[in-house]
């Protein structure tokens, strides 16, 4: 429902994607409050800014993977390889879209 591309993972990028999620919910006339947002335990998703926006402001239920990236090794491997192999293509598409 939301996405953002950047050179590296950071809170600003995550919040940009979260802003798109909010907009998508508004356009679909859906309530975001009470929804479950599942994240890994990366510092982006355990930090104060992310939790203030999602948990406190939007009142979503926050869920974390117990094992971090090891919780779903097949998907982590797929997306890690996909992003690495297609980074330049994704970056070019993002630049064109902006």
pLDDT tens digit at each of 98 positions of the chain: 888 888 888 999 999 999 999 999 999 999 999 998 888 778 888 899 999 999 999 999 988 777 655 666 777 777 778 777 877 776 665 555 55
Within-domain flag for 86: yes
Within-domain flag for 98: yes
Within-domain flag for 95: yes
Within-domain flag for 94: yes
Within-domain flag for 61: no
Within-domain flag for 18: no
* Host domain of residue 85: 72-98
Q: Can you tell me the distance from the alpha carbon of 3 to that of 95, in angstroms, rounded to the nearest whole number?
A: 14
Q: Is residue 64 within 8 Å of 46, Cβ to Cβ? A: yes
Domain count, the chain: 1
């Amino acid at each position: 429902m939301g996405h953002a591309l950047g050179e590296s993972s950071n809170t600003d990028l995550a919040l940009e994607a979260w802003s798109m999620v909010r907009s998508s919910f508004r356009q679909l006339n859906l309530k975001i409050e009470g929804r479950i947002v599942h994240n890994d335990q990366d510092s982006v998703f355990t930090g104060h800014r992310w939790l203030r926006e999602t948990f406190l402001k939007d009142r979503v239920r926050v869920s974390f993977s117990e094992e971090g990236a090891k919780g779903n090794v097949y998907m982590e491997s797929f997306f890690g390889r996909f992003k690495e192999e297609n980074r330049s293509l994704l970056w070019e598409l993002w630049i064109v879209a902006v």
